[in-house]
Amino acid sequence: MELKGIITAMVTPFDENQEINSEAAKQLINKLINAGVDGIFILGTNGEFYLLTDDEKVAFAKLVIDEVNKRVPVYIGTGGNSTREVIALSKKMEALGADALSVITPFFVVPTQQEVIKHYKAIAESVQIPIILYNIPKNTGINLEPATVVELAEVKNIAGIKDSSGNIENIQSYIEATKDYDFCILSGSDSLILKSLELGAAGAIAATSNLLAELDVSIYRNFLKGDMEAAGKAQKEIDVFRGVLKLGTVPSILKKSVELSGIPVGPARLPATEPNAEAVATIKEMLRYYKLA
């Protein structure tokens, strides 16, 4: 499996009782695949992994894997603070048929780089499928250093890193440090998709593609064709949506935007609450801008 292209960091649809909404999930999956995304990544930050039980994660992963039915790769977030628990969940996801696992660094208590290396090596040894490191320092308090990433790139099934630092220098340092390895860099910052591709990244795990899949896909496809003007225009075009996302707690605005565009993904789970009337009005204005309402 090649890690590349635009991979949607998919939201987890809920019903009015905040339970997983299977029908909405299927609807969203098919919309994304029809729009040309190169993969679907579930149970990440925008997928509210931190608010789901392991049983819910396994049930949702099974639903997604079955619905995708090998049309695109399915990436599943299995990260957590306990190495033992991450291993147990990772094994379950591998058994279900996940194509790759995304493992966020431990959070709350900040481990050393050596501790993180041991954590990832233990997880990698427990499964056969590719593992993608997930670096999001503003949420976790830890930034994976390039030397750490190089050491982990030497592990045969640690295949890449999703960097959500929002720092292009960070992405560049990973690209340069791992250039001699079979290792992929994926941008986790939607504002940096094109810049990352230009530096040598393989693609992006993009939350904006829940709503703007065609636009995000066009950044990548135009880049591959060498049409940098069209790629740049598409990259700039997602900024209107990105500006609106700041109006609420992740992923409340993203989910409301998808819902108002026609797929009933429901609210974010508490403690995140529904956007207020003012935010909803701004979301509707944004959807009209993109001709999605």
As annotated, the active-site residues are: 134, 162
In Å, what is the CA distance from 19 to each residue of 14, 43, 67, 273?
5, 15, 18, 15
Structural contact between residues 131 and 157, judged by C-beta atoms closer than 8 angstroms: yes
* β-strand partners of 40: 8, 74
Dihedral, CA of residue 35, residue 38, residue 41 and residue 46, to nearest 10:
-50
Neighbours of 84 (CB within 10 A): 10
> Omega of the bond prior to 271 within 30 degrees of 0, cis?
yes
Query: Taking the mean position of all CA atoms in its chain, how far away is CA 34?
Result: 18
Instruction: Give long-range contacts, CB 8 A cutoff, 24+ apart: 254-260.
Output: 254/11, 254/46, 254/207, 254/210, 254/211, 255/11, 256/280, 256/283, 257/210, 257/211, 257/283, 257/286, 257/287, 258/11, 258/28, 258/210, 258/211, 260/284, 260/287, 260/293
